[in-house]
Structure 1
């Protein structure tokens, strides 16, 4: 008891006389900590509140005395807690004041309104955990024969099992009083005895074995269940809740019970298995955790004990598509028996042992909880009264979803309590309907596979998204361009170095070059490599190749020689077209044709088009993209693919004959093919800058103005380069952004500089672009829009099932833009290009993009990045794009790239202006990120760069960033406390975390802190300074530097 005397806030002589003081149990400590962290909202979220509606003449004095007798019988009902949550004081006597409300004089509607208001206030009463009482009773009179009793009790002193005891004993005591008899009750079990047993047991070898069982269950990995939410998770998490109730059909309930009994599974196990299948359907995850409360009273032989004696079991399950439900149920029955043998567990202590990464926006490990309270009123009676028990509605909830199944076997009520900051009520209703459908399928045929059971037909949703069928001419690209040359022969086709080339002249040069190539032996179906500087000659070469029915292979002359050599060998290119100068640096090719020599000889060839007709299915170009094996892979794109793309974008975003389009991308980038063909397809002008201009932001910006560019296609990096170079004023230009994600801040800047902004998306393998989105100024989320003409989008899980809106999966793309696979890579082709099972057309193929995304309810798709850009840091799967967006929303940051290296995140930053003090600026960035993102998503290191390394395709080179090394001060390991407040906080942190020299910018939870230690810290701070810091402040101000500021009087908490 000496520790009691050390706590100045705990006065055993204040308030009612105390009978005894005991240590709180681990489970109670977890609730106390949660209430301290979440303050009033969390406190109310732990209220257990129900109403007893009585029909008959209620003896009011008898019910009041029965309640007081009940309170006096049970230690927990007359308990309160010390300020630090370490002790529970049990009062010798505790007088309960019952509030009364007489509504008998009101009409029925007014009675209902007044009752609902009163019930809501009672159910959400804020209990004082330190002074008590922690039980509240209200009595409402509607008439002489109609009354209701509202009982609200805090979960820290009561659990679901205890509610049953309260009802049983209340009925017995009341009935005895009105019948002038002595209540026949067994001697109550003291909660103090249970608590003492718990402490002894927690130090036993048996408990260590139980704990080890659960540690072993999670030692390989810790799953994170990600339900598709309607809204982003706020940080820190909120407790605002609501509840939706459903009644299950009685016949379905009976059939479900029979299904379980057929394999010896209890009704509870059967319901839980069905719920896990629902979660499998909703999340697409086959590694799930559901929290299931387990009452300790029956296990300990203390059946009539009232108190918080429940253990929250984190039950892990692994549903798979091929297993039948009945086999899954058998499996779960065995696993749950095993879990039941190890149910004497402290959940909070397990979290500490597992070192589960803490995220202030989430509930650790078990965001979803499932409970079954059946027959809680069985055997309960009140003399001369009929009654009905109802759980009161909740406006606060501790879990993301808490599903409580109550009632009787034939009248089951599913009470869905949920966090309303995450879910809309309609979403919860859909979940229950989906659950009911699963249960119906289970009883109809329990031998069905889980895949068959969870299958939901989202076909109509995707049919609407993919209603894109449009008829276009069945011709080759060469034929299409020839027709355009006939339509607009005098239009300027190319401009280069003050030279203008008309469509007529372009057409003649291409025809002559095609005859030249044909004379050299170029035939339909050949692969012809091209490496030549950006110029009219390059354009002639490419257009001549495709007129021959051959495919061009673009080779960037800046590529490493070994990469070019590999492409030439892998493609078995028949010829290499290049310049004399480049031929000296490129790998040797036996069939090299010098474009300069060819141009000098063109006059001897016919100016008419080759007579050969090109099949639209012929490969148009072969483009090599990075491969996961380290060897690039050649994606084959046909004439039909490109023709469809050009027609699809002709009207939206659109192009006009008067448009002037720059050809700035390196020829090895798929965007270059679009830049080349799109203006020539419509009679517009293609402007060719030299190599230096295309790479220099200042020169490129000057060209935009001088050449009156009206439509430009480029990557985010290119546009940022232009802005850096001084592009600030608005130009009459249509901006097409592609190739990289378009962050909201960048979009806002580009909207100021052009007439229109479009975001285009599509992998190389599906012909450059497959969707587009017109970005408006009010956009807060940049989507990639909907599929263009004759293209289809599908969001699928790993079993290729369609996913509902807002559910994250892989973007699969079908339609006329899907290419012809990878050259010489049949296994990879069959893996990525698969039959499109969602259409009725034989031979339709869809491409698995490797991009993750989701379908919005607005029928647009959001791309969330590459699957291989998902990283795992300290047990958390992280989409680094989310961190990058958060960084780029900070004033002063122009570009942010985040990479994961080993087990840390590293941010690379380009700022709008020079930074005077990097350390201070980085601290500001850390603080800003910490206000938006969980601690584990805040990068450990920050590096400020002048420019990002880029690939030859002008994309950020993330591989190069991984190799980056810096001696910057921003990554120093230790920053010592500077102020007295920081020194005090550091001393207390180091003492309780058992660490030396904690950096003042280290995150409390990343260096081993958890909620129990946080409690100790705030109590010690209060002892030392007299300042009471809310426990929630540890989450919000989780570094010494930030926490210490709370001790300065001028700073408001």
Structure 2
């Protein structure tokens, strides 16, 4: 047996007698791979099941014979698959063991329960793809005249078209048996014939053209449909599903068909176009992909073939606001005809070529499918029996939503199968109602534009959300704080460096500083720049400025000189209040007032308040935020804005006069104003740490304990810094988190360390905070709560229509806290601060935040990110256009895009000429940027590209850049295998990926790997080592270094 030719060849089909073995088709291979990756739940998801309810005297032996005859007749129903999924074996004989269940002795409820239990067990049954059988039949008897046949098959051997063939042949054969006749069956085509024809097609010029068609469709970008879900997508994704059925009004159904026929569009095309419009309205996305199954039997002239011959066509569409529905329908009719001409191309083949980035929480490219199964029972008859066909409810589903339209034109039923983890039945019901409303809209007036086709009026939902009206005093902030000083003169207002300053003393100093400023020429309405370290003197200056009726402009002394100079010039600040030391580094201002000099002469000024009545509408402070044009913009916030905020939060989250609050934020951050004014408004104590303490987690934690801090306002980054620095024990402190998203893991840690945890949200333009949420330990989704007193929230689409709960749109904010716009930017102000169309009050304004979010059914809002390219990094809101403009000002840089990845900024640039030393170039760029931008706006990573990727509209594809990772092969450094296991894995990967060498840190899917190659690799590993590694491990361990470790376990 030493001669290789004498050795027995490996036989993957050992077992029952095999009639033949054929290559699996591409679509079958993809299902096999999906089941291998997804495990048992994926296997359960790839099932087709239908129930035939019979009324009459069913002859059970005849039915059993008929079912066995169909199995004997069709190859696919006698099939199983090799362990590597590459071959399909056809058993010569396969006996179908029909499970018979007699429930005739039970009452109606007991019968219903028993039948449900059977269907539940059937849904959870796991087909053995290697050994078979892949068909399962149950025959349930309820009485002498009531029976049900439940037939379940794995999708890898059967498709929707095949179900119709099974039903047709079952009726013919059964009727012939009971009538003692020969069944008149159509001529049969073997599945192996179909499979061989597919193999030939794959080597044809027609296949090349078909492949080219689909690749061209997705050449420039691959959209990702983000359905609004009730829960975040888990990783890895789940398969357990629910189903809700809805019957469409027959008049509406016929009207939809008539609308389509008016332009020569089929019923399915019209329903699909309406579904795409519904998705456009639901998601706000105008680049959609919907999966539509397309049967291969009719095209190949094999109408009577049972097997898996379906391809899932990823149909891309671009519904735009201004196109009319009828024109959109005409466009889709042409596009769908074209797609049908190229339907012999599998979903998996496209994924292999596109190399779509894998996300374990999502099915790639096609999260939803739309299918039409009409006329399944046409021409079907069973001798002396009445029957009803029902698609058995699946308990597991591969797609996030699978919408199946079944029945007939005039009796259409929509079966919504959906992922139970992502959607509730109530959400699906609302989706169906919205889809029906879209259909009603389009039949009523097909000429209306897509932006005019809207869902139901959600005014009542938002009225409840925004029922926030509360009375607050018509006072300026200065007057409000003065009143508090009279109420609690002996309370400690400020603590700094072992010094305690009472409210009485603070008020005296503020009054004197106001008189000092007036003597220098400061008037109501002036803008006064302030740059000074955190100290009591800074507080005196701010309180003095606002007592004058002027507005303060906070300038961080760590900002680059160019940025400070721009803000000074843009604001036309009348004075600069600073220290002697800082004045040497700040831009020259002819009216510079030194706090050092002011404090030396302060005692010569009156201790009484200025006799100035400050209008609550006066601007209180001017705060510059990052600007998209490359220059920051100044947001104007009034006294009224801030006074409303203080009263809105007085009780919840709340503050007491015994509270001690640290003032840790830089003065140019809007939170700093709140840290100062909120305690002073209630008679509490403001604790001022030095600069070093505010930046050092260890020192800050020590201060929290030492100073007995009871309420702290900070960003997520600040709290993470504190935890990392050693904060582990519980403190009697109320934690307010703001400025950036609060992840659940961080929230859980903070809940262990404090008495209360609150999440607060609000753009600078609407006065620091506009909503809040008390976070509890059982939270599974961190929301920003609802609007605070006298504020309103709206989730709107691009046309400013209200969106329903769970639908993603832009967060628009109205109410008393909406600021006064941008200084000297009337056009931008008009774009962002718009009339509030939802308010009945004259002159009400709402602010378009640029944040995307959704309204939960609980009347809470979830913030999901940015609509535009503005981002938040470690609590700082950044307009990345400003960074891009700064990059473009650097000599040699041709184009620049900046993106936020998690909590860092990443710059992508192209250059005018070749860079010899990239590290040196990046160093120079960093230094240049540091002279123009603050530290939090400097990119952490730089990538030099040959060219920028573009979208279909020839715009820079920022999504593609987000997925960009440097190819390990292109680096000069190469890390080769270090262990025997890594050498084995590298050898196999290099062989099947056709690479000379692969760095052990290279990602399998980023160097050409895909699911089919992964299958081959796993099988090869098992043959070489005897170790069986699940296919899903390739996803979870996509580098040689990670994968090789599995061989040691």
Please classify the TM superposition score into its range, dividing by the shorter chain length.
0.7 to 0.9
Q: Distance in 2 between matches of 1:84 and 1:74?
A: 24
Is the 1:493–1:685 contact (alpha carbons within 8 Å) kept by the matching residues of 2? yes
Q: Is the 8 A contact 2:698 2:722 kept in 1?
A: yes
Matches within 5 A, 1:79-90: 79-90=79-90
Q: How far apart are 1:693 and its partner, in Å?
A: 4.5
Q: Hey, what's the Cα distance between the residues in 2 that align with 1:753 and 1:148? A: 60
Distance 2:756 2:32 in 1: 55
The alpha-carbon deviation at position 902 of structure 1 amounts to 4.7
The 5 A counterparts of 1:896-1045 are: 897-900=903-906, 902=908, 957=936, 959-962=938-941, 974-1045=974-1045
Shift of 1:91: 3.6
Q: Does 1:805 align with 2:805?
A: yes
Distance change (3 Å), C-alpha of 1:517 and 1:1035: closer
Could you tell me how far apart the structure 2 residues matched to 1:42 and 1:654 are? 50
- 2:792, 2:813 within 8 Å by CA — same for their partners in 1? yes
Per-residue deviation, 1:866: 4.3
**Paired position in structure 1 for 2:634:** 634
Q: Does 1:653 align with 2:632?
A: no
Partner Cα separation in structure 2 for residue 728 and residue 60 of structure 1: 71
Higher mean C-alpha deviation, range 187-196 or range 595-604: 595-604
Q: Does structure 1 residue 16 correspond to structure 2 residue 17?
A: yes
Secondary structure, counterpart of 2:182 in structure 1: coil
1:454-512, Cα deviation, whole Å (9 max, x unpaired)? 33333333322222211111121222223233333344434445554443443343334
Is 1:717–1:956's contact at 8 Å kept on the other side of the alignment? no
Give the structure 2 partner of residue 300 of structure 1: 300
Mapped partners of 2:585, 2:124: distance in 1: 78
Equivalence for 1:450 = 450
Counterpart of 1:468?
Answer: 468
Q: Identify which range, 722-731 or 385-394, moves more after superposition.
A: 722-731
Gapped runs of 5+ residues in structure 2?
872-879, 881-900, 910-928, 945-965
Distance in 2 between residues matched to 1:723 and 1:78, nearest whole Å: 61
Residue in structure 2 matched with residue 907 of structure 1 by the alignment: none
Q: Which residue of 1 aligns with 2:116?
A: 116
Q: Which range moves more in the overlay, 3-12 or 326-335?
A: 3-12
* 1:743 CA drift (Å): 4.0
TM-fit CA distance, 1:758: 3.2
Q: Distance in 1 between matches of 2:391 and 2:739?
A: 54
Conservation of the 8 A alpha-carbon contact between 1:717 and 1:955: no
Structure 1 window deviating more from structure 2 (305-314 vs 504-513): it is 504-513
The alpha-carbon distance between structure 1 residues 856 and 974, as it changes in their structure 2 partners (threshold 3 A), is farther
CA gap of 1:62–1:273, structure 2 versus 1, over 3 A, is same
Over 3 Å counting, the alpha-carbon distance change for 1:594 and 1:68 in structure 2 is: closer
Bigger CA drift: 110-119 or 219-228? 110-119
SS at match of 1:197: helix
State the alpha-carbon separation in 2 of the partners of residues 115 and 503 from structure 1: 76
* Cα distance change, pair 35–692 in 1 and its aligned pair in 2 (3 A): closer
Q: CA deviation at 1:991?
A: 0.8
Is 1:189 paired with 2:198?
no
Shift of 1:303: 1.7
Moved more, 521-530 or 685-694: 685-694
Partners of 2:994 and 2:244 in 1: CA distance: 46
With structure 2 as the length reference, what TM-score do the two structures score? Answer: 0.86
1:124-523, aligned counterparts within 5 Å?
124-523=124-523
Report deviation, 1:532.
2.9
Give the match's secondary structure for 2:1004: coil
Distance 1:574 1:222, change over 3 A: same
Shift of 1:975: 4.0
Question: Quick check: 1:404–1:416 contact (8 Å CA) kept in 2?
Answer: yes
Q: Please report how far the alpha carbon of residue 870 of structure 1 lies from its aligned counterpart in structure 2 after TM superposition.
A: 8.9
Going from structure 1 to structure 2, the CA distance change for 1:993 and 1:146 (only over 3 Å counts) comes to: same
1:705-756 alpha-carbon deviations (Å, 9 max, x no partner): 5554443333344445555665555554444333344444444554455444
- Quote how far apart the aligned CAs of 1:123 are: 5.3
Q: Distance in 1 between matches of 2:831 and 2:8?
A: 68
Task: Verify the 8 A CA contact 2:355 2:1005 in the aligned structure 1.
Answer: no
Check conservation: 1:973, 1:999, Cα contact below 8 A. Answer: no
Q: Does the Cα contact within 8 Å between 2:438 and 2:455 map onto a contact in 1?
A: no
For residues 536-558 of structure 1, what are the alpha-carbon distances to aligned partners after superposition, in whole Å with 9 as ceiling and x for unaligned? 33333222222222111122333
Q: CA deviation at 1:214?
A: 1.0
Q: State whether residues 4 and 10 of structure 1, in contact with CA within 8 Å, keep that contact through their aligned partners in structure 2.
A: no
Equivalence for 1:26: 26
Residue matched to 1:924: none
Distance 1:180 1:652 in 2: 82
The separation in 2 between residues aligned to 1:812 and 1:457, in whole angstroms, is: 17
Indicate the residue corresponding to 1:944 in structure 2. Answer: none
Do 2:18 and 2:89's aligned partners in 1 also have CA atoms closer than 8 Å? no
Q: Tell me how far apart the structure 1 counterparts of residues 859 and 799 of structure 2 sit (CA, whole Å).
A: 22
Structural mapping, 1:642-1041, within 5 Å: 642-697=642-697, 700-701=700-701, 703-705=703-705, 707-722=707-722, 730-867=730-867, 897-900=903-906, 902=908, 957=936, 959-962=938-941, 974-1041=974-1041
In 1, the alpha carbon distance for the partners of 2:281 and 2:780 equals: 29
Deviation at 1:224, TM superposition (A): 1.0
Task: Tell whether the 8 Å contact from 1:493 to 1:503 is kept in structure 2 after alignment.
Answer: yes
**Distance of 1:4 and 1:738 partners within structure 2:** 75
Counterparts of 1:43 and 1:687 in 2: how far apart (Å)? 61
Q: Which stretches in structure 1 are left out of the alignment for 5+ residues?
A: 872-879, 881-894, 904-949
Whether the 8 Å contact between 1:123 and 1:392 is mirrored in structure 2 is no
> Is the alpha carbon distance of 1:699 and 1:157 closer, same or farther for their aligned partners in structure 2, counting shifts above 3 Å?
closer
What does residue 52 of structure 1 align with?
A: 52
Tell me by how many angstroms 1:1009 deviates: 1.6
Deviations 1:306-348 (A, max 9, x none): 2211121111112223333222222211211121122222221
SS across alignment from 2:1006? coil
Cα distance in structure 2, aligned partners of 1:804 and 1:855: 7
Give the distance between the partners of 2:706 and 2:50, measured in 1 at CA. 76
Does the CA-based 8 Å contact 2:437-2:455 persist in structure 1? no
- SS of the counterpart of 2:453? helix
Q: 1:742-783: per-residue Cα shift (whole Å, max 9, x none)? A: 444444554455444433332222212222333444545443
Determine if contact 1:715/1:955 at 8 Å carries over to the other structure: no
Q: C-alpha separation between the residues in 2 aligned to 1:588 and 1:306?
A: 85
Partner Cα separation in structure 1 for residue 6 and residue 332 of structure 2:
46
Inter-CA distance 1036–714: structure 2 relative to 1 (3 Å threshold):
closer
TM-fit CA distance, 1:43: 2.5
Q: How big is the shift at 1:572?
A: 0.9
Does the CA contact (< 8 Å) of 2:796 and 2:802 recur in 1? yes
Distance of 1:425 and 1:559 partners within structure 2: 53
Determine the C-alpha separation between the residues in 1 that align with 2:943 and 2:305.
62
| Alignment correspondent of 1:551 | 551
- Cα distance in 1 for partners of 2:535, 2:88 equals 84
Tell me if structure 1 keeps the 8 A contact 2:766–2:847.
Answer: yes
Assess, with a 3 A threshold, how the Cα gap between structure 1 residues 688 and 106 changes in structure 2: closer, same or farther: closer
How far off its partner does 1:379 sit?
1.0
Say if 1:656 and 1:1027 are closer, same or farther in 2 by CA, change over 3 A: closer
State the shift of 1:188 in Å. 0.9
User: Is the CA contact 2:906–2:940 (under 8 Å) kept in the aligned structure 1?
Assistant: no
CA distance in 1, matches of 2:59, 2:695: 90
1:794-815 residue CA offsets vs partner (Å, 9 max, x unmatched): 3333333333333443332221
Change (3 A) 1:473 1:307: same
**Aligned residue-pair number:** 975
SS of 1:11's equivalent in the other structure is coil
Match of 2:65? 65
